[in-house]
Each structure stands twice: as structure tokens, then as C-alpha cells.
Structure 1
Amino acid sequence: MSLHPAFRAYLDELNPLVDQAAASGFVPTPESARAALAGLNQFAAAPIEVADVSDREIDGVPVRVYVPTPGVPSDVVYFIHGGGHMAGDLDVYDFQCRRVAAATRMVVVSVDYVRAPEAPYPCGLEEAYRVLRALPTALGDVATTGRIHAVADSGGGAKLASIAQRVARGEWESPIDRQVLIYPSLDYTMSGPSMERLGRGYFLSAERVAWYFDNYFPEGTDRAAASPALGPFDAAMPETLVIAAEYDPLLSEAETYVERAAGAGAPVRLLIASGMIHAFAFFETMIPEDIERLYSVITGYLREGEAPADWA
């Protein structure tokens, strides 16, 4: 499918501004990256009401808990936000967590893990895992079924897939039953063909991805060993749906991840969001039909383990 018309118009305006900034010598910083991601909230729709929303800590890590049906036991969705391991927080992703809670009617727990470069790899990953390990007993005042799922986007998807990777290595344990990875970052070597084919002019650039990784990883880190797309995999991994965007430089690593995981017997599926760019979930007011489709797909998968064969 061709690029969605809304994104074609958006990129036609954005790309000259990006080129102009580069020509003027603009140098990105963690602060500018965080501001840019937060700025995408301008495209969000009005916040969806959720019956009970509270900020608390789990094992010393800040989280936000969304309870759509207080007193009614429901499954729990663990949400790990993206942002290149550098940006994003509970407020930036509040709109998305509300969407997930309202659509699935499940309790959502969003984690505010530490970010790079102040806290480099694997600090944020280890914090996200600490909260996950504590989840089965951490919500004693919330009615739950005890069943835990997960949803994560972009760099959060990297963390979620990295948890599964370490479980496959026999290093960690995970209570997750089903998980949804939305346009995840899965190959820290940046070796997939879509990184070159789509790495310029489609919102997320290869140059920006490399900059994120350089800020995330301490010097000397084996990035191949840290890459979920490069394994290991096993058949005991959680049921996984990967939702990739057709015009995302991360597309091919999602395809590779699913192919290799399926080859190891893991219950994994790929759904490519046609016409979409990276981070498309932020653009609620621009692509409302696709946003409704996204949360319908998430709900169907977490509730029933079912997903459509294509995006249309």
C-alpha cells in the first residue's frame, strides 16, 4: 500500500524543517529528544476517561495504574513505553495507556523506568523487569484475575522482547501470557534492509536511531548479543503479536524477529500496518480509523489470542 495520505502531507511539511535544522548545525540532546516526543501529544485525541487512575511505586519504581472496572477482577496489562530508551514517561504515554485500558477492560500498569544517557543499558531494562517480577503480588488492592499480559511500543518493545530473550537464555523468569510489540526496535546492529531503504524521509531516521543507541549503550557493549532479533528464542516464549509499520526503518527487523522466533517453535505472529510510519499510534486525530483498528487488534489478541491476517 502507498503511504497514508495524512502522513504524506505531514512528512512533506516535516522533512524540509528537518533538513533546515541539520543545515543550520542543530545538535540533538536528550532534552530536545524528550521535548520532541512529548510534542507528539498535540496529535492525540481527548483523553479517554478511566474509572480509577493512580500513581504509586512497585519495588521502588514509579508506575501509573489504570483500573477501568474497579471491583471487577480483570487481567493485567504491563505497559512499557518507547522513546529510544531516552524519552517518554508516564505523562507522555498516558493517552495510550488509557486507550488500552478502555479497549481491553483490563488493568494497565505503566512503568516509568530510568532513561539513557543518565542511566545507560541495562538499567532501564532491569527496572522494567523488577516491576514485572513484582506484579503478581504488587496489586493487592486491585481486583485482578492474576493473569498478566504486556503491551509495548518502539524502545519499550525492545525492552519487552529483551525480557523474553533473557528468559530464553535461562537468566530470568516472566509471568507474561500474551504480549503485543508495536513497531518494536529489535536489532541494535541496524543491519536490516529497511534501515537503508526507509532510513531517511519517513519520520524515524537511521541517523536518529544510531544516535539513540550510542547514548543508550556503554562503550564496548556487544550490541548483537543485546539484540532480540538475533536470539535466542524458544517455544516457551509468551504468545506474541508484532505490529510493524510498513514505512518504518524498523520493519525488516520485525520480520526477522518473527521468522526466527517461529522457527524455534515460539507462538508469534506478524501484522504489518499498511501505509503507517513509526510512532503512528501518537497521531490519533490524523488517522482515527487506523487508531481504532490498532486498539481493536490489541484487544482481540490479548483477550482471545486472535489477530487479523492483514491490516485492512
Structure 2
Amino acid sequence: MVKLDDGLKIWLDAYNQGVAQLMQSGYVATVEAIRDGLSNLTAACVTDSPDIARVLDTSVAEQTQMIPVRIYHPAPDRPLPVIVFLHGGGHMAGSVAVYDPICRKLSKTTQHIVVSVDYRLAPEWPYPHGLADARMVIGQLWSLLEQHQFAYVPALTLAGDSGGGAMAATLSADYQEHPDVRINNQVLIYPSLDYTMSQPSVTENGKGLFLQQDKMQWYFDQYFQHGEDRQAASPLFMSKSARMPRTLMITAEFCPLRDEGVAYVQQLSALGVHTEHFHLDDMIHAYLNLESLVPMQCGATYQKIADFLNTSMNC
């Protein structure tokens, strides 16, 4: 029988009670509060931050735009394949700094170079500014690594969680027919793939399970400010071909985004794209940011990503 993790349930009960008390006091969420909330939660719950042999803060620039990135190389004496990582936060929150321990774990476990992108956030920078920043980094990726003398293998994985997963999937679709940019793999961690919010799990899991349906709607309203076609912008509804990258989909049973992840895997599988689906029956959205509560599930997730990527290198 599918059941929410017991420790997570205790934490959720306390969390929901605290949110209810805030609402009763007249609290109104602000962008700053959302950002501080994700930062504080991650700092409190992801306390194991492994040492990485080389970590560099640098940037990618084009004309007047500069995009900060943080590069992690776990074995500088060896050329390694590369992950471009796009953090979650509903396109409104998160940063390279907030996701530093998660990227360190990803780099160490997978033995990949991780390039974490500090893309611009809504509402100050709505759609499609963050995607443009990610494209800029991808376009200059190999020259950036050469400039800073990182030993690398020119094999590229796009990875992201939640809103960052949406961005990774969007970019994979954009680049599937590109003559000069090849995305070898994508790793989508409970990604947001349907901006129309039309999948059944949105309502099934949209209350009391951390990621709220009404909060998702608010995030998307901040992101899409100019009447964009949200269906066309959704990776679930984008045109796909057999040239899409190998895909690892990670979903959680009690996540509002569960069903869009399942539907996306079915689409790619029907096209003959190599897909793997790692589903956790007892988890909620954003569980990687809650690691101290669910360390075994987080450890299994990082290991699954490593197995998926390192198997691909031998194909």
C-alpha cells in the first residue's frame, strides 16, 4: 500500500499547522518570503555538504548580460563529462548558493563536472529570461571550461528539479535538431512540465503536501506576465522526436507534478527514446531539499542518477 513516509508526515503536519496560523494572522506571501523560505529550509535540512576538489565561481557574458555560474570538478586531474544544473524554485526562488550542497552531492556521486547556473528569476525577470540565460551558458560551455582549464569530456547532461526541470526539458526540446549542440542526457527531478496545470495529480496532491495548487498558480502568474500561450511553453506539449536525449525521470507519489512526469515518459518511450523512471511511493515534491528528514530516499536518488549517467557513458 502506498503511504507517505512517517517522519515526513510528522514534519508536514507541523508545517501545515504553522502555515495555517500565519494565514489566520493575516500574513500575505511575498516574493522575498518565498525566496527566504526555500533558502532557510534547504540550509536547515541539507546539512551534509561534501568537499569537492575544485569549485570555481565565474560567469558567462554576452553583450551587456552576465550570468553567474558555479563549477564543481570532483577530480581535476581527470577529464569528466558535464552536467548543466538548473535549480528549482518555481522560477521565482532558488540560487546557486541555495543549491550548493545539492550540486556538491550530485558532482561527487556521479563523478561529473557540474555547472550550476544562476539564471534570472521572475517576477523581476519573467519568461523567457531564465531560459535565455541557460541557453547562453550552454552555448559557451566548452569554451568556458577551457578558459578555466577544466579537464572535461564533451558529453552534456541537462539536469534540474521542479522549475529547473521544466527548463531542462524545454532546452532538450529546443536543441533536439540543433546541428552544433548535442544534449546526451536529461535528468528531470519532479519537473514542472505542464503550465496549464491540467493533470489529475495537481488537484489530488495540491493541498497539504508542501507544494500547494494555489501557490503553483501564483508562481506561474509571476513567470508568464505577457499573455504567453502556457500550453505551447509546456514541455509536455512540445514537439518531440527520437532525437530527444536519454531521459531519467524522477517522480514522487505525493507530488502535484507526478502525472505530468509519467505522461512525459510515456511520450518519449513511444518515440523510442531511452527512458528510465525512478518513482518514490512515499515522497513529496522537493524532498531533496528536505534531506535530513528522508536521507535514505535522497541517497537512493543521487545513486540512481549516477547509475543512469555512468551507464550511458559505456553505451
Is the pair's TM-score, using the shorter chain for normalization, greater than 0.5?
A: yes
In the alignment, the residues of structure 1 paired with residue 45 and residue 106 of structure 2 have an alpha-carbon distance, to the nearest angstrom, of 17
Query: Are 1:156 and 2:153 counterparts?
Result: no
Offset at 1:266? Answer: 2.5
Q: Secondary structure at the match of 1:62?
A: strand
Instruction: Tell me the residue number matched to 1:310.
Output: none
Instruction: Tell me the residue number matched to 2:95.
Output: 89
- Using the size of structure 2 for normalisation, the TM-score is 0.93
In the alignment, the residues of structure 2 paired with residue 94 and residue 232 of structure 1 have an alpha-carbon distance, to the nearest angstrom, of 33
In the alignment, the residues of structure 1 paired with residue 293 and residue 23 of structure 2 have an alpha-carbon distance, to the nearest angstrom, of 27
Offset at 1:232? Answer: 1.2
1:160–1:173 distance in 2 versus 1, CA, 3 Å = farther
- Superposed CA deviations along residues 38-91 of structure 1, whole A, max 9, x for unmatched, are 011201122111111110012331000111111211111111101000100111
- Superposed CA deviations along residues 172-192 of structure 1, whole A, max 9, x for unmatched, are 964321121101000000000
In the alignment, the residues of structure 1 paired with residue 188 and residue 253 of structure 2 have an alpha-carbon distance, to the nearest angstrom, of 15
Q: Which runs of 4+ in 1 moved over 4 A?
A: 170-173
Query: Are 1:73 and 2:79 counterparts?
Result: yes
Q: Secondary structure at the match of 2:268?
A: helix
In the alignment, the residues of structure 1 paired with residue 126 and residue 50 of structure 2 have an alpha-carbon distance, to the nearest angstrom, of 33
Identify which range, 40-49 or 80-89, moves more after superposition.
Answer: 40-49
In the alignment, the residues of structure 1 paired with residue 260 and residue 69 of structure 2 have an alpha-carbon distance, to the nearest angstrom, of 29
Correspondences of 1:171-250 after superposition (within 5 Å): 174-250=181-257
Instruction: Tell me the residue number matched to 1:277.
Output: 284
In the alignment, the residues of structure 2 paired with residue 172 and residue 279 of structure 1 have an alpha-carbon distance, to the nearest angstrom, of 35
In the alignment, the residues of structure 1 paired with residue 210 and residue 179 of structure 2 have an alpha-carbon distance, to the nearest angstrom, of 35
Indicate conservation of the 8 Å contact 1:83/1:156, yes or no.
Answer: yes
Offset at 1:265? Answer: 2.8
One-letter code of the match for 1:109? V
One-letter code of the match for 1:97? C
In the alignment, the residues of structure 1 paired with residue 47 and residue 24 of structure 2 have an alpha-carbon distance, to the nearest angstrom, of 34
Correspondences of 1:1-312 after superposition (within 5 Å): 1-40=2-41, 41-59=43-61, 60-140=66-146, 141-168=149-176, 174-305=181-312
Indicate conservation of the 8 Å contact 1:233/1:266, yes or no.
Answer: no
Offset at 1:134? Answer: 1.4
In the alignment, the residues of structure 1 paired with residue 118 and residue 100 of structure 2 have an alpha-carbon distance, to the nearest angstrom, of 11
In the alignment, the residues of structure 1 paired with residue 34 and residue 67 of structure 2 have an alpha-carbon distance, to the nearest angstrom, of 23
Identical-pair percentage: 40
Offset at 1:29? Answer: 1.3
Indicate conservation of the 8 Å contact 1:76/1:146, yes or no.
Answer: yes
Offset at 1:153? Answer: 0.5
Indicate conservation of the 8 Å contact 2:67/2:117, yes or no.
Answer: yes
One-letter code of the match for 1:153? D
Q: Secondary structure at the match of 1:38?
A: helix
1:16–1:177 distance in 2 versus 1, CA, 3 Å = same
Indicate conservation of the 8 Å contact 2:169/2:186, yes or no.
Answer: no
- Superposed CA deviations along residues 182-233 of structure 1, whole A, max 9, x for unmatched, are 0100000000000011100100000110000000002311000000011211
In the alignment, the residues of structure 1 paired with residue 105 and residue 175 of structure 2 have an alpha-carbon distance, to the nearest angstrom, of 29
- Superposed CA deviations along residues 257-292 of structure 1, whole A, max 9, x for unmatched, are 111222233322322112011000012221111111
- Using the size of structure 1 for normalisation, the TM-score is 0.94
In the alignment, the residues of structure 2 paired with residue 270 and residue 145 of structure 1 have an alpha-carbon distance, to the nearest angstrom, of 26
State the Cα RMSD in Å.
1.5
- Superposed CA deviations along residues 6-40 of structure 1, whole A, max 9, x for unmatched, are 11111110111222222333221110110010011
Structure 2 gap segments, 5+ residues each = none
In the alignment, the residues of structure 2 paired with residue 147 and residue 171 of structure 1 have an alpha-carbon distance, to the nearest angstrom, of 15
In the alignment, the residues of structure 2 paired with residue 261 and residue 39 of structure 1 have an alpha-carbon distance, to the nearest angstrom, of 36
In the alignment, the residues of structure 2 paired with residue 81 and residue 191 of structure 1 have an alpha-carbon distance, to the nearest angstrom, of 24
